């Protein structure tokens, strides 16, 4: 449920700000936590300048990483609570707490860096980050998100007509791509497309395929290798991206392992989840997440075979929201 309120509306109790930047993963994690919290919130969009690339140990508690125009929009009344995600938002959250004379409580999703971490009232640290637990941290599995069972139900009903012609089982193929230090090659695209297509054909089913901006040139190779019945949405195609509709409608999901958020969102339902994670594409941190999801029964490695099985829904946003409610119940705001 979306509890966003207009920025001009000032709640009389528990004013909450979400600090959202231009990174989709950070945004979805913040919004997922806020919606799980179930309280009204306001959004503060962040725009970074050149100094936004500096490490937090140099920025400290400040708005220095923001453009001057953006920094000027962050003014009192200061909120009771700030929820933020990602390294670059951490300095901004700390500065808001400083300007409020310590009255604003700040919650950070993902580890913000060692120096200044004591300023946070709560840090939600994914287990795959391998950080040492501290008094102000909680450990979570995967990335928080806003894909609830209710949302999946509505998306499935909304999108059913568009895929009704495709044979079952319908298998979603969710494709990410290259990251900062790893390349999703056309060869990987061919292998993944061929494996997924063969699986769908052997099951007399079909594929629901969506690629991302990061798939790049490998998208051509992947799409050309698919011969099974399929509905394909390539990044940049006209029309709405059917990503969430595919998550909701699929009988099984194949997801590339290059995105913490995509892997976590793929596990938001109860059906089979298979992770495609060739070694050259996957960092040690990603590998730790995959091993955790597999060990807990949320996912399996994609080896080209299919089996029907179920798992409980995964959404760390609920765990973070529960911890925030404890802060409120303790009277910290």
Count of CA atoms in the C-beta half-sphere (13 A) of 119: 25
pLDDT tens digit sequence for 264-321: 999 999 999 999 999 999 999 999 999 999 999 999 999 999 999 999 999 999 999 9
Name which of 97-101, 130-134, 329-333 the model is least confident about.
Answer: 329-333
CA angle 54, 214, 308 (to 5 degrees): 120
Cβ atoms < 10 Å from Cβ of 285:
13
- What pLDDT score was predicted for residue 113? 80
pLDDT tens digit sequence for 64-99: 999 999 999 999 999 999 999 999 999 999 999 999
Could you confirm whether domain 16-146+317-329 is CATH 3.40.1130?
no
227-247 b/e with 16+ CB inside 10 Å = b?
ebbbbbbeeeeeeeebbbbbb
Given a cut of 60, whether residue 8 has pLDDT beyond it is: no
- What pLDDT score was predicted for residue 14? 81
pLDDT tens digit sequence for 312-325: 999 999 999 999 99
- What pLDDT score was predicted for residue 333? 42
* DSSP-derived secondary structure for 122-191: EEEEEGGG-PPP-TTEEEESS------HHHHHHHHHHHHHHHTTSPSSEEEEE-----SS----HHHHHH
Given a cut of 90, whether residue 221 has pLDDT beyond it is: yes
User: Which pLDDT band holds residue 159 (cuts at 50, 70, 90)?
Assistant: very high
Q: Alpha-carbon distance 148 to 150, whole Å? A: 5
- What pLDDT score was predicted for residue 115? 82
CB 299 within 8 A of CB 277: no
Domain range list for the chain: 16-146+317-329, 149-301
* DSSP-derived secondary structure for 211-230: --GGGTTHHHHHHHT--SSE
**Same-fold call for 16-146+317-329 versus 149-301:** yes
User: Which pLDDT band holds residue 10 (cuts at 50, 70, 90)?
Assistant: low
Higher-scoring residue by pLDDT: 240, 202: 202
Residue 97: phi and psi, rounded to 5, are -65, -40
CA 4 to chain centre: 19
- For domain 149-301, give the CATH superfamily: Glycogen Phosphorylase B; (3.40.50.2000)
Look over the chain and give the mean of its residue pLDDT values, rounded to a whole number: 94
Cβ atoms < 10 Å from Cβ of 52:
19
């Amino acid at each position: 449920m979306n509890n966003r309120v207009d920025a001009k509306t000032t709640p009389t109790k528990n004013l909450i700000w979400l600090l959202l930047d231009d990174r989709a993963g950070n945004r979805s994690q913040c919004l997922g936590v806020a919606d799980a919290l179930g309280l009204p919130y306001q959004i503060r969009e962040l725009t970074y300048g050149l100094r936004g690339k500096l490490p937090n140990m140099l920025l400290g508690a400040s708005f220095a990483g923001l453009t001057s125009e953006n920094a000027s929009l962050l003014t009192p009344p200061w909120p009771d609570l700030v929820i933020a995600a990602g390294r670059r938002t951490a300095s901004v959250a700390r500065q808001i707490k400083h300007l409020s004379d310590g009255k604003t409580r700040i919650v950070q999703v993902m580890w913000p860096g060692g120096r200044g971490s004591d300023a946070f009232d709560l840090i939600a640290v994914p287990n795959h980050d391998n950080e040492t637990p501290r008094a102000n941290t909680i450990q979570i599995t995967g990335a928080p998100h806003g894909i609830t069972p209710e949302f999946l139900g509505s998306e499935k009903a909304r999108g059913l007509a568009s895929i009704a012609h495709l044979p079952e089982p319908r298998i979603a193929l969710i494709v990410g791509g290259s990251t900062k230090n790893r390349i999703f090659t056309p060869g990987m695209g061919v292998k993944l497309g061929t494996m997924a297509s063969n699986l769908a054909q052997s099951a007399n089913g079909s594929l629901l395929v969506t690629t991302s901006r990061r798939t790049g040139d490998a998208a051509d190779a992947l799409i050309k290798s698919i011969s099974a019945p399929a509905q394909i949405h390539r990044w940049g195609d006209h029309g709405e991206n059917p990503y969430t509709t595919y998550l909701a409608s699929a009988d099984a999901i194949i997801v590339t392992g290059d995105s913490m958020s995509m892997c976590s969102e793929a596990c938001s339902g109860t059906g089979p989840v298979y992770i495609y994670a060739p070694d050259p594409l996957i960092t040690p941190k990603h590998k730790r997440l995959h091993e955790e999801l597999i060990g807990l029964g949320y996912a399996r490695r994609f080896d080209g075979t299919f089996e029907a099985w179920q798992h409980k829904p995964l959404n760390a946003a609920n765990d973070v929201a529960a911890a925030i409610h404890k802060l409120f119940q303790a009277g910290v705001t």
